């Protein structure tokens, strides 16, 4: 039997064993009307529940004390001042602004002079950022007032109550990372309904039934790096870990870096798993940059590769670079081979974290369900490189790709609506790392 068939059969059998152990039967959710969902539980009659349609919010007289010059060459979220109604962490959430609704006035009164787009100001209607134009009527120190309508993201919960009723509980709408209503003791969460902005009716891609209660852990392939690290940890030796990455590793946007970053969560769990080991955690991270950025930095730079990565002499380097995602497999092989040689030269082991999923259109995706396979060539390149060189791979991408099976649209974990995971998303990285040491 070919190896691929054996692997697939093993995965299937393991998954079946886990499903049996969970004793979990999932509900089926189907569209039953513009704002109605049919819920069917095995062995039970189907029931139809109603969903509240999303609403547009009206904003009138939003004051911006000054407007920067509109920068058409910048990313959409930084082309100008960010409209507050669509503002997320650091960015704006695209597609939430009603483009026909926007107007800008020179004063707060309803009859204040109306400013002209293309003459006085310009706006990115997709991202909701506005800036003044040179030669227009808006002075650099002048306040302006915006009027517009916008949508929000909403995640509702489909719940089986303790008395066997099926209800839809509305989540708290937000511009990013919408909150889900809690499920009480004795209740079962059957799935979520995701409204990503203003939609005119429900579609199948908005339905997220819970098909798996948790990620189906699969046996990890044998890896020499993991074996050496496990022996060291079991022996109670010291281990200096360097978390090396970009803004996701830096985690400056998190409420509590010291406990919520993926590396902090991993180190805490590793100390619990190996209480005799002496684990030291270091972090070197640079938001908005990639491995190439580090390699190009001159001596004396705060992010010079030789001085801030190799010179630390870590025992193990764990790398996370979603900003490397533009690399093709051949580029991964070339650049990462250099890194591997450098790490071996200082006696450091290497664990590569595959990246999380980022906003769908940046990945060539049109939906957030039925997306088990990561389409990015970079991820394929990482897997090929790790397998060829026996480098440890913590495959967070696999876990993100199956979140939809747990009823979770993955981008609802991004606090900037693009690529900054919240504490739940950070936990997924830690899960992927801990799976190596089961």
pLDDT category of residue 45 using cuts at 50, 70 and 90: confident
Model pTM? 0.91
| Helix/strand/coil for 21 | helix
Query: How open is the CA angle 12-427-389, to the nearest 5 degrees?
Result: 60
Query: Domains along the chain?
Result: 28-53+152-209 (no CATH), 57-150 (no CATH), 224-437 (3.40.50.1110)
Chain segment 1-29, per-residue pLDDT in tens? 333 333 333 333 334 444 333 456 789 99
Give the number of other Cβ atoms within 10 Å of residue 341's Cβ: 9
pLDDT score of 245: 98
Tell me: the pLDDT tens digits for 361-380?
A: 999 999 999 999 999 999 99
Cβ-based neighbours of 286, under 8 Å, separated by 6 or more? 246, 247, 250, 293, 294, 303
What percentage of the chain has pLDDT greater than the value 90? 91
Cα 120–126–130 angle (5° rounding)? 25
Pick the closest to residue 263 from 232, 239, 294, 242 (CA basis).
Answer: 242
Q: Which residues contact 201 (CB under 8 A, 6 or more apart)?
A: 34, 35
Angle subtended at Cα 145 by Cα 141 and Cα 146, rounded to the nearest 5 degrees: 130
Backbone angles phi, psi at 222, to 5 degrees: -65, 140
């Amino acid at each position: 039997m070919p190896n691929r068939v054996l692997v697939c059969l093993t995965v299937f059998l393991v998954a079946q064993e886990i499903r049996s152990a969970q004793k979990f039967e999932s509900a089926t959710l189907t569209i039953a009307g513009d704002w109605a969902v049919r819920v069917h539980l095995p062995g039970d009659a189907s029931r139809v529940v109603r969903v509240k349609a999303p609403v547009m919010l009206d904003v009138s007289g939003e004051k911006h004390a000054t407007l920067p010059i509109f920068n058409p060459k910048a990313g959409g979220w930084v082309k100008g001042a960010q409209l507050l109604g669509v503002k997320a962490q650091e960015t704006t959430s695209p597609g939430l602004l009603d483009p026909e609704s926007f107007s800008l006035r020179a004063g707060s009164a309803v009859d204040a002079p109306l400013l002209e787009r293309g003459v006085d100001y310009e706006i990115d209607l997709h991202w909701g950022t506005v800036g003044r134009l040179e030669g227009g009527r808006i002075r650099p120190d002048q306040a302006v007032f915006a009027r517009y309508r916008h949508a929000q993201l909403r995640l509702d919960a489909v719940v089986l109550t303790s008395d066997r009723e099926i209800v839809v509980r509305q989540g708290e709408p937000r511009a990013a990372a919408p909150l889900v209503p809690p499920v009480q003791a004795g209740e079962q969460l059957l799935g979520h309904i995701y409204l990503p902005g203003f939609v005119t009716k429900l579609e199948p891609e908005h339905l997220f039934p819970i098909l798996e209660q948790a990620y189906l852990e699969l046996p990890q392939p044998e890896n020499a790096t993991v074996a050496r690290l496990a022996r060291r940890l079991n022996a109670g030796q010291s281990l200096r870990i360097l978390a090396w990455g970009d803004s996701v590793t830096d985690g400056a946007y998190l409420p509590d870096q010291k406990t919520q970053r993926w590396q902090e969560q991993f180190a805490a769990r590793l100390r619990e798993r190996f209480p005799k080991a002496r684990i030291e955690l270091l972090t070197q991270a640079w938001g908005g940059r990639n491995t190439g950025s580090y390699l190009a930095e001159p001596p004396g730079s705060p992010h010079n590769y030789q001085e801030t990565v190799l010179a630390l002499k870590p025992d193990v380097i764990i790398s996370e670079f979603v900003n490397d995602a533009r690399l093709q497999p051949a580029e991964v092989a070339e650049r990462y081979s250099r890194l591997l040689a450098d790490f071996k030269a200082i006696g450091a082991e290497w664990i590569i974290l595959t990246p999380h999923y980022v906003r769908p259109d940046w990945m060539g995706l049109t939906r957030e369900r039925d997306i088990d396979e990561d389409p990015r060539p970079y991820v394929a390149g990482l897997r090929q490189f790790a397998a060829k060189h026996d480098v440890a791979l913590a495959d967070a991408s696999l876990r993100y790709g199956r979140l939809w099976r747990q009823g979770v649209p993955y981008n609802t974990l991004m606090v900037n609506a693009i690529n900054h995971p919240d504490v739940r998303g950070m936990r997924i990285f830690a899960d992927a790392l801990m799976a190596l040491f089961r």
